[in-house]
A = this chain, B = another copy of it.
Amino acid sequence: MNDNYISGIAERVLNSDKRSIAKALTLIENESKGSEQLLKFLYSHTGKAHRIGITGPPGAGKSTVTNCLVKLMNEQGLKVGVIAVDPTSPFTGGALLGDRIRMQEVGLLENVFIRSMATRGSLGGLCKNVVEACDVLDASGKDFIIIETVGVGQSELDIAQTADTTIVILVPESGDSVQAMKAGLMEIADIFVLNKSDRDGADAVAATLKNIIHLKPPSEDGWIIDVLKTTGSQNRGIAELLSKINEHKDHLAQSGYLKTKRTQQLRKKIGELLTNRLTVSFWDEKKRNYLESNLESIYEKKNDPYTFVDGLLKKS
């Protein structure tokens, strides 16, 4: 892949050409040669899109709410990109696409681009390529980028560090409001959505959530977390959700916290990039072979991993 080929894709991404966006995302997802060159090209065109993270436990209706939100944004003439992060599947190497299929319908809309990504066993819950995929969509001129991820745990922390606005979706049943605290969801949400709120007990759960929020220390930037009720299957509460997102977006800009947040993201990105470069350049074939030929004796406790690594570092 030569520079002309890459810069050609980059130009067409900037013109929002769907096929080239898809090609660019594939290059990036596979970490193909030229993908970094492409990101370099695009970088100065990023930073305009507002990035929304949508997360919550399995079965909360994240895909349904995302779908409704995308349709509404599209009706308002907004350009939207969606990255749906599928559960990692390191054993099969693939992702179970399940209810992503519903998304294909909105994906056909002119100004909407939808992409499913598997995390492929990367160390972080949300692999670094997701951030880079967002950069591509951002450079292509999207107004909003939605990153949808399943998960309780690490992937949510990653999403909170990647997104400008983090939405946590819960449902009335199974004590989710209390469990949310355990799972650290309280700490990452800018907006709570109680989906399937036509079900029994929704008001009680919403009230409990609001009480829990009141117990929290206020956020550094002065934003007040709210609990919204939606019924995704009936497309209810979506307009209110979009207006709340816009409110948070304005708040971030006016408080100056958007810059703080994005600078922090940049610091993290550079750190990861550097760690990656150091690691990749360290592990040549000779060192890999040396590791493999020593594993047995470490397993047999004839050596320990710490002493071995010290020795390995001295070899370079």
Q: How far is the CB of A227 from chain B (nearest CB, A)?
A: 19
> Across the interface, do B150 and A151 meet the contact criterion of CB distance under 8 Å?
no
Of A183, A307, A313, the most chain B CB neighbours within 10 A belong to A183
Shortest C-beta distance, A177 to chain B (Å), equals 11
Q: Do most interface residues of chain A lie in helix, strand or loop, or is the interface mixed?
A: helix
Q: Are A87 and B36 in contact (CB under 8 A)?
A: no
| Distance of A26 Cα from B53 Cα, bound (Å) | 35
Q: Are B279 and A267 in contact (CB under 8 A)?
A: no
- Cβ contact within 8 Å between A44 and B304: yes
Oligomeric state, in number of copies? 2
Known: A87-B182, A87-B183, A121-B157. A270 touches B57 (CB 8 A): no
Q: Counting CB contacts under 8 A, is A77 at the interface?
A: no
Q: Is A223 an interface residue (CB 8 A)?
A: no
Beyond A152-B152, A262-B299, is A184–B88 a contact (Cβ under 8 Å)? yes
Tell me, yes or no, whether A269 is within 8 Å of chain B by CB: yes
Looking across the interface, which residue of chain B has its beta carbon closest to that of A55? Answer: B153
A39 touches B150 (CB 8 A): no
B270 pairs with A278, CB closer than 8 A: no
Binding site for B on A (CB under 8 A): 36, 39-40, 43-44, 46-47, 57-59, 87-92, 96, 98, 119, 121, 123-125, 149-155, 157, 173-176, 179-184, 187-188, 259, 262-263, 266-267, 269-271, 273-275, 277-279, 282, 291, 295-296, 298-299, 301, 304-309, 312-313
**12 examples of A-B residue contacts, CB within 8 angstroms:** A57-B58, A58-B152, A58-B182, A59-B176, A88-B153, A90-B157, A125-B155, A150-B182, A263-B295, A267-B295, A278-B282, A278-B313
Give the 6 A-B CB pairs with smallest separation, nearest first.
A151-B153, A125-B154, A58-B179, A87-B184, A43-B304, A154-B154
